[in-house]
Each structure stands twice: as structure tokens, then as C-alpha cells.
Structure 1
Amino acid sequence: MSRQAHYLAIFALLLIFLQGCAGRTAPAPVILLNSQVADGSEEFTQDTYKVQRGDTLFAVAWFTGNDYQDLAKYNGLSAPYTIYPGQILRVTAPPQTARAPAKSTIKTKQSTDPTSPSIDKSVVDRKKTQAYRESEKVVNPQNVTTVKKPSASVKNKAPSGFPSKVQKWVWPAQGRLVETFSKAESGNKGIDIAGARGSNVVAAADGKVVYSGNALRGYGNLVIIKHTDTFLSAYAYNDTIVVKEREWVSAGQTIAKMGSSGTNSVKLHFEVRYRGKSLDPMKYLPKQ
């Protein structure tokens, strides 16, 4: 084979290869050279989530970008929202099902069977004014014992519920702001504050600790605080955590110590979410 024929053969093979690539319907694999998983900014796009050891419903809601109340409704869960490793949770709204037709009133014909029991017509379709028979005992309202409400002195000191709005926001840590919020798909979904290892991380607002642990990949030692029925905040990369789940905290109260768990430098990663959607924390924190 001449050199020219050799080159022509190679050129023909290249054309065949390129045509095969052009006809490929599946997307090319994506290589994450600079993965944003470490700062928790990846978007969860699946319809279901498999529960891992250490997960809570609040943590799953945070990770998948949902409100925990919605997840509870999707999966038929009620307080205290217990979930188990290996359990498959729906994280998107189930398809709407058609309503069942209203039940029609079916009239029962009187049986001609002599062995069937007779029906006492006096107890069928009683009028509202005659809700009981003469032989039935009527409860005298005066005999009903009422339970008095507990006095203020015996009430729990812990808040009985969440406020309708956050009254005050404070900075969650002292230090240098090294990264800000980004709306980009792979951008930072919060802010990063660099500081000294072991320095205080504080609650940015009054609320209740709904997650305390390290089960969320990429967040390290994480605290999530619920402030209202819709607002939550997260504090990641902590060295140690000093609060427990279900503990009520006040704005400025120490909840953790700054560290580098889940990342490569000492800093706090702070996020604010409304119904599972990331918001720019700088819009809520006071100006420094």
C-alpha cells in the first residue's frame, strides 16, 4: 500500500468514528474537575432518596431541597418523623389521583327470608330532634366534669411553637468572608467565613435544632436550625457541635466550634433556606 493510500484509509476511519459520535443520543459523561459537593451546592434531581444511617427527615429535606413538612406529607409520616436506613422516601409530589366518586345511599330491601332478623324501624333514620330512644339514657350536661387549663406557672418554659417570622438575625461567626452566594447551578449556595479553629459558631436567629450530626456528605459536622415553619439555616464544617437535636437556641448562642470537617480549610459554611430553596444569607444578616 502506498503512503497516499495509507493516509486515505486513516482519513476514512476517522470519518466513520466522527459519524458514530455525531449519532450518539446519550449525553457524554461529565467529569467534575472542581466538584462543588464539598460546599453542599449540588442539586438533587432524583424523585426518591434512600435513607442512610444517621439521616433524619430534616436532613433529607435539606439535602434534597425540600420542606420537611412536604416530605412528611409525600410519605405519610407524622411527628416525630422516624425514618430507617434503607427506606425509600419520595422527594417529589406524587401524581394527582382522581377523586373517588361519592358514595351513594343504597336502600336495603326488606328480606323475605323468615330467618333474617327483623329491623326495628324506630332506630332507622331518626330525626335530628329525636337522636335517642326513650329507653336510652340522656347525659345531663351538669354531670360532665371539665378539665381546667393549667396555670401559667406549670407551663413549659420552652417555646410551644415557631414564630411567624424571624425577629432578628446575627452573624453566625467572626472572621473573614471568603466566599459569597452564587445563583449559578454549580455555585456556592451560602457564604463561607474563615476564622480561627475552635472559635465560636453561633445561631443566626432564635430557633430549634432539627439536625446535629455528620451524615450529610460534604457538610462535615453540621447543625441545622429551624426558625419558623419555613425558614431554616445550616452551619457546616464544624470542629465540634455543642447542641443537641430538639434543643431550643437563641440568636447569638454558641452551637458549635469552627473547624475544617468536610473541607480543606478552617471556615464556616452558612446557608439560609426558605421551603428548601437556597437564599442569599447576606440579604438577612446585618451590615458589618
Structure 2
Amino acid sequence: MLTVALIAGLSACSVTPRRAAPVEDRPISGVRPVAPSASAPTQAASAPTDAKPLPGAENAGKPGYYTVKSGDTLIRIALDNGQNWRDLVKWNGLDKPNVIEVGQVLRVVPPGVDPTAVATRPVTTGKVETRPLDGKPVAGAASAPAGASAPIAPATPAPAATAARDSDDEPAWGWPVGSPVSAGFDEQRNKGLDFNGKAGEPVLAAADGRVMYAGSGLRGYGNMVIIKHNNSYLTAYAHNQTLLVKEDQAVRKGQKIAEMGSSDADQVMLHFEVRKQGKPIDPSKLLPAR
């Protein structure tokens, strides 16, 4: 009888595990905002304790939708799905884009688009331009304030940029910086190429496109620019000390978009990613021979 009573007492003292407390992303600091029209979305907070159905729950598991996990941010979700975070706000009717909840389900493809019909053709090098880019900064460019329109750097006139074209054509790629590669692509450990260089070294757009993000709201990337080139491709440029473009600005291949720095890194470097439909791919397979 004593044993039974003891077991009953221990059972009564058991507790239900607590839910994780909401996680807030750190505030953006150290750089003048380059997109003052909206604050960068913050990290996902844990779902409230009252059992209220979360937005989009009926779409969980369906193609073209994403279920928010702990630690997610809207910027990260957009990057991993090859979309602009502002489009996610619009497609999902988010009144407060700074607040997303664990378990919430977000549409990550445009309305009316069949997510099962997304092109899956293999990545090929295609025809790329092999002439060297002039990576020298234009006079006065180094003093341009963050958020200002950047000067155009190509040595020869380029045709008007067809930014974020509604096609899957292979962009004409160029190197984003003149420094040598210091770390290659690794699908698990390094989702792009790293370049070591000097603070202030010009960072160039790798192809024509439109800026879909310019800021410092994604942890681990520092001051970053993301450019969308067409329906399939986007590129990311991280750890800059200065950003010279702003969101929704059209840019051309070889245009100076930032200056190399060490934001959110332990040394001066550029981390460069190419993503096809949100998936990181090896940039060295696309860039022309030096």
C-alpha cells in the first residue's frame, strides 16, 4: 500500500513540458536602412497557448505552401523559396509581417501558379559572356551613402536591364568581385562561394536583375543584397560594409551594388550565393572562366 501511494504521489507531481518562449530577432543596427518603406521581418514566435487555429493551417503539407518552424524569419523563408518577402506578405495577407508563428502555413508561390508545374530542367552553364569585367570603382562611388543609386561599372555600354524577367532564360553571368575564391561550394557547410578581400572592395551584380532585398535582417549574413534575375535565379551578396542599392531597384551586370566588409563575419569577405528556385547551387558551374 505504501508503494502504491508513493507512485500515485509522483504521478500527481509530473508537469507538462512548457512551450518554447517567443524568440525575437535582434534589431538592425550599424547601417542606415536602405529600404525605409518597411522594417525587416523578425523571427517566428511560438504559437499562442490558446488552441486557436493558425492562419493557413488547412494548407499544411500542400505543394506551394510552407509551415513555419522555430527560428524562421520571413526573409529566410523567402530566400529559401526564391521569392521576395514583400510578395509573401501580399500573398498571405499578413497585417503584421514582423510576427509569424510556429505552425503558421504560408503560401510561397504566386496565386494562380501550379506549384507542381515548376520547371525542373537541369542547371547548365549555357552561353556566358567571357569578357573580363572592369571591377574598378567609378570616381566618387565609394562615398555614396547607403541606399543611393549605384553607378554602372561595365567598361562597355550594356543594354537596358530586363529586371526579374518573366522567363527561365539562363542569365549572362559575371564574377561578383575581383578577389580570388577562398572557400568553395559545399551543399552542407557552405551554400555559395567565399572571397577574401579588402574592406571597401567593389561588389558587383553578377547579372542583370532587380534588387529584392537590401538590409541586415537575416542572421549570419550581415549587410546583404539579394537580386532576382528571372523566374528561376537569384543571387545573394553577404557581409558587406556598405550597401549602394535599395529594394526594387533595377541593376545591370557588373554594376557596383555594395562594398566588401565584415558585417556578421570575423574577417573581411564576400559570401556569394546563386539559388535556382530557392535551392543553392554551385556558382562556379555558372561563372565564366577567369
TM superposition score category, shorter chain reference: 0.5 to 0.7
RMSD of equivalent CA atoms:
3.4
Indicate how the Cα distance of structure 1 residues 251 and 160 shifts in structure 2: closer, same or farther if over 3 A, else same: closer
The alpha-carbon deviation at position 215 of structure 1 amounts to 0.4
Alpha-carbon deviations, 1:30-49, whole Å to 9, x = none?
xxxxxxxxxxxxxxxx9315
Question: Among the aligned pairs, what percent are the same residue?
Answer: 39
Q: Which residue of 2 aligns with 1:220?
A: 222
Q: Residue 98 of structure 2 aligns with which residue?
A: 85
Q: Secondary structure at the match of 1:239?
A: strand
Equivalent residue, structure 2, for 1:177: 181
Letter matched to residue 92 of structure 2: L
Equivalent position SS for 2:77: helix
Q: Once the two structures are superposed, what CA deviation does each residue of 1:168-196 show, in whole Å capped at 9, x if it has no partner?
A: 10000011211000123xx1000001111
Aligned residues: 173
Contact 2:162 2:209 in 1 (8 A): no
The 1:74/1:199 distance shift into structure 2, 3 A limit, reads closer
Offset of 1:85 from its aligned partner?
1.2
Q: Return closer, same or farther for 1:70/1:217 CA change in 2, 3 Å cut-off.
A: closer
Amino acid aligned to 2:78 = A
Match status 1:281 vs 2:283: yes
Matched residue, 2:270:
268
Structure 2 residue aligned with 1:68: 83
Deviations 1:107-155 (A, max 9, x none): xxxxxxxxxxxxxxxxxxxxxxxxxxxxxxxxxxxxxxxxxxxxxxxxx
Change (3 A) 1:82 1:265: farther
Deviation at 1:84, TM superposition (A): 1.9
Q: Deviations over 1:180-216 (max 9, x none)?
A: 00123xx100000111110100000000000000000
> C-alpha separation between the residues in 2 aligned to 1:247 and 1:255?
10
Pair 82,197 (structure 1): closer, same or farther in 2 beyond 3 Å: farther
Question: Which of 139, 142, 162 is the matching residue for 2:165?
Answer: 162
User: Is 1:74–1:91's contact at 8 Å kept on the other side of the alignment?
Assistant: no
Deviations 1:216-268 (A, max 9, x none): 00000000000001211000000100000000000000000000001001110
TM-score of the aligned structures, taking structure 1 as reference length: 0.52
Find the counterpart in structure 2 of residue 239 from structure 1: 241
| Structure 2 gap ranges (5+) | 1-65, 109-159
The whole-number CA distance in structure 1 between the counterparts of 2:206 and 2:218 is 21
Question: TM-score, normalized by length of structure 2?
Answer: 0.52
Change (3 A) 1:58 1:208: farther
Contact 1:181 1:190 in 2 (8 A): yes
Structure 1: runs of 5+ lacking an equivalent: 1-45, 94-156
Matches within 5 A, 1:192-203: 192-203=194-205
Q: Distance in 2 between matches of 1:239 and 1:231?
A: 25
SS in 2 for 1:237: strand
Q: Distance in 2 between matches of 1:70 and 1:241?
A: 19
